[in-house]
């Protein structure tokens, strides 16, 4: 009998299988290690190439955007910057595979680079530089070296440098003259509790003085405001006293050495305020939209000193009623045979204006990036009149109450006018605010929704009170249609620009409103029922009283009130609104600053 023996696996064969598996594992490890090294090397090469593209785009956008941009010069700069940062690829060219100048447009939530072949010559400012770089490297340190295979790496970057524009809707800088400087003194004295007595020449000197945001920060730091690092964000978030801002404004005047302003007199008068402990944030006065990668580029922006003083004063004293002492020219009222005239004015700043600096256009949220609002105010001009009409003595407590809503202006865009090389055109959109005139006086001008009390008239005959009149009227003032204004800026040194106005086509909106007010007065007559025995003895019968009252009403409506209302408008309301930067039925706009902003790396 034959017995079969099984074939077993001996120790020698087992050692051979383990050795083969180890070799295979080692090969796999080496392959994966090579792949890891290659992947890491390619990643670092790509990262370095992206760094080159970023640096090239940033410096090119910094030096070669704006209306003076030249693609050839930009290409030279881009090539030099790329090589300085280690670029070893082919020379850059103007085109999609090299350098392009253009702009960014919003496409929903995306920002898309738009090429401008003839930048600077078609009315649109080149604001961005797009850089595309390529570089060939071995595909693999192992296999690529054996077979000579190459991988082409590419990187792209877009950098944008947007201009910063400062606009003013209702600036005081264009409104200072000999006639209204006393009213400006009275307004500042009412707001600040000072005793200013500056003339028009001194105010003009303030108009001609500007301070940069950096100088403002440095001056405030010297005055003890905690500004350890002069950045825009820190400056705007700082809590400052009203007195500190005014002191910084005076320092700007002293630094400039303005000939028409006696700095010591200005210091003594302006800084002797009755509300020195009032505090505010500079963000309540200034709005600055700066590039995210270079937020301090806006520190070079300039602010007019008079605008700074007025805006600060109005912001610090908002919601407080201010009373002004004014005089009506009695010579204009002589033909009315008025016995006495006593005028008074109250004003409340509901929403103060702001100084705004920022880039043009809309942001990703669809809102305008740089928008300025005028002040929202309530004004009340009143005059106590006494006049004689035959045997009647009439006392009129006349008042005009005005509420003006905020108007707005925004920077729509910045362009390059083809017929003025090197100049910049700024397009500013506008929307004037509405206003409402009422005959009478506010019951409380400082509350959020005040009522207007009608004009009270007391009529006496031969010393006897015979009637009381209540006069009421309302005249809404519709604003002019909004429109886009275009400003040509040839040189920053020539700023601010001339004022451009958006106004209704009906002439003076305020004058027309007052005329409408005078023509639409409702009269409520209340006769005194029991005049007494003396009135009967003097012949003041009911018929006589009614005739006399009707005569008084006729004279008031046809002669006295129209003339006095127009006088209140021209002497008090209109110049005071101008001092507050408010246009009734229209809007006055200036470009007050234009400078290149910092650079943002978009992608």
- Residue 297 above 60 pLDDT? yes
Tell me the per-residue pLDDT of 538-582, one tens digit each, with 9 for 90 and over.
777 787 888 899 999 999 999 889 988 988 888 888 888 888 878
Counting beta carbons within 10 angstroms of the beta carbon of residue 500, is it exposed (0 to 12), middle (13 to 18) or buried (19 or more)? middle
Residue 535's pLDDT band (boundaries 50, 70, 90)? low
CA proximity to 540, closest of 528, 555, 554, 552? 528
pLDDT tier for residue 598 given thresholds of 50, 70 and 90: confident
Residue 197 has pLDDT above 60, yes or no: yes
Give the residue carrying structure tokens 């009707």: 550
What mean pLDDT comes out for the span 20-39?
76
The answer to whether residues 360 and 369 touch, using CB atoms and an 8 Å cutoff, is yes
Contact criterion met (CB below 8 Å) for 458 and 448: no
Computed over its alpha carbons, how large is the radius of gyration of the chain? 37
Q: Whole-number mean pLDDT of the chain?
A: 82
User: Looking at residue 120, what is its pLDDT?
Assistant: 46
Residue 239: φ, ψ to 5° = -90, 120
pLDDT at 229 exceeding the cut of 70: no
Does the structure show a pLDDT above 50 at 65? Answer: yes
Tokens of 192: 């600040």
State the pLDDT at residue 534: 72
pLDDT at position 388, please? 85
Give the mean model confidence (pLDDT) for residues 332-349. Answer: 71
- Distance (Å, whole) CA 63 – CA 517: 58
Burial of 458 (0-12, 13-18, 19+ CB in 10 A): middle
Q: How confident is the model at residue 58 (pLDDT cuts 50, 70, 90)?
A: very high
Could you read off the pLDDT of 127-179 as tens digits, one per residue? 899 999 998 888 776 655 555 578 888 999 999 988 899 998 875 555 566 56
Q: Which of 169-178, 254-263, 283-292 has the lowest mean pLDDT?
A: 169-178
Query: How many Cβ atoms sit within 10 Å of the Cβ of residue 551?
Result: 14
Distance CA 85, CA 135 (A): 13
- Least confident piece of the model among 41-45, 150-154, 329-333, 526-530: 329-333
Nearest to 495 by CA among 594, 567, 599: 594
Q: Return the structure tokens found at 517.
A: 């007010």
Q: What is the pLDDT of residue 316?
A: 83
By the 10 Å C-beta count (0-12 exposed, 13-18 middle, 19+ buried), 65 is classed as buried
Per-residue pLDDT band for 333 (boundaries 50, 70, 90) equals: low
Higher pLDDT pick, 539 / 203:
203
pLDDT at 339: 57
Q: What percent of the chain has pLDDT over 90?
A: 22
Residue 97 CB neighbours (<10 A): 14
Is the predicted pLDDT of residue 442 greater than 90, yes or no? yes
Which of the four pLDDT bands, split at 50, 70 and 90, describes residue 458?
Answer: very high
Give me the pLDDT at residue 506, please. 46
264-280 per-position pLDDT tens digit: 888 888 888 776 677 88
């Amino acid at each position: 009998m034959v017995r079969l023996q099984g074939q077993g696996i001996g120790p020698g064969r087992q050692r051979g299988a383990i050795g083969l598996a180890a070799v295979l594992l080692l090969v796999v490890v080496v392959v994966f290690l090579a792949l890891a090294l290659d992947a890491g090397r390619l990643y670092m090469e790509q990262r370095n190439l992206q760094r080159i593209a970023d640096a090239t785009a940033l410096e090119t956008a910094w030096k070669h955007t704006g209306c003076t941009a030249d693609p050839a010069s930009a290409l030279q700069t881009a090539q030099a910057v790329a090589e300085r940062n280690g670029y070893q690829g082919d020379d850059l060219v103007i085109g999609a595979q090299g350098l392009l100048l253009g702009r960014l447009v919003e496409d929903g939530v995306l920002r898309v680079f738009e090429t401008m072949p003839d930048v600077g010559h078609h009315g649109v400012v080149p604001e961005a530089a797009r850089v595309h770089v390529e570089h060939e490297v071995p595909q693999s340190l192992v296999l690529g070296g054996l077979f000579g295979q190459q991988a082409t790496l590419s990187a792209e970057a877009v950098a944008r440098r947007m201009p910063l524009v400062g606009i003013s809707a209702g600036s005081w800088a264009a409104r200072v003259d000999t006639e209204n400087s006393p009213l400006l003194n009275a307004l500042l004295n009412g707001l600040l509790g000072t005793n200013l007595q500056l003339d028009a020449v001194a105010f003009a000197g303030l108009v001609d003085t500007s301070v940069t945001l950096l100088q403002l920060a440095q001056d405030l730091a010297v005055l003890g405001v905690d500004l350890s690092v002069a950045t825009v964000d820190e400056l705007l978030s700082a809590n400052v006293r009203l007195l500190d801002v005014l002191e910084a404004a005076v320092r700007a005047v002293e630094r400039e050495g303005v000939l028409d302003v006696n700095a010591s007199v200005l210091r003594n008068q302006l800084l002797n305020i009755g509300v020195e402990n009032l505090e505010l944030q500079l963000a309540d006065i200034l709005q600055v939209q700066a590039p995210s990668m270079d937020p301090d580029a806006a520190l070079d922006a300039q602010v007019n000193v008079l605008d700074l003083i007025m805006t600060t004063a109005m912001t610090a004293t908002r919601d407080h009623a201010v009373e002004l002492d004014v005089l009506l020219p009695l010579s204009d009222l002589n033909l009315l045979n008025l016995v006495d005239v006593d005028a008074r004015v109250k004003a409340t700043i509901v929403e103060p204006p702001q100084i705004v600096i920022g880039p043009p256009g809309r942001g990703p949220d669809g809102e305008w990036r740089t928008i300025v609002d005028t002040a929202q105010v309530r004004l009340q001009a009143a005059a106590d009149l006494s006049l004689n009409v035959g045997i009647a003595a009439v006392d009129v407590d006349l008042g005009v109450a005005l509420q003006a809503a905020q108007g707005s202006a925004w920077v729509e865009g910045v362009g390059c006018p083809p017929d003025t090389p090197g100049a910049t055109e700024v397009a500013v959109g506008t929307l004037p605010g509405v206003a409402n005139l009422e005959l009478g006086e506010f019951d409380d001008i400082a509350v959020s929704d005040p009522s207007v009390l009608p004009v009270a008239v007391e009529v006496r005959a031969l010393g006897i009170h015979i009637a009381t009149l209540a006069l009421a009227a309302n005249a809404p003032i519709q604003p002019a249609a909004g429109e886009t204004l275009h400003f040509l800026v040839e040189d920053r040194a020539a700023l601010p620009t001339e004022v451009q106005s958006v106004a209704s086509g009906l002439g003076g909106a305020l004058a027309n409103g007052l005329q409408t007010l005078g023509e639409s007065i409702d009269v409520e007559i209340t006769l005194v029922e029991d005049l007494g025995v003396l009135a009967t003895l003097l012949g003041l019968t009911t018929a006589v009283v009614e005739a006399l009252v009707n005569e008084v009403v006729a004279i008031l409506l046809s002669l006295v009130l129209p003339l006095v209302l127009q006088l209140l408008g021209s002497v008090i309301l209109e110049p005071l609104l101008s001092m507050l930067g408010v246009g009734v039925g229209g809007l006055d706009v200036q470009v007050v600053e234009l400078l290149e902003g910092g650079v943002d790396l978009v992608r």
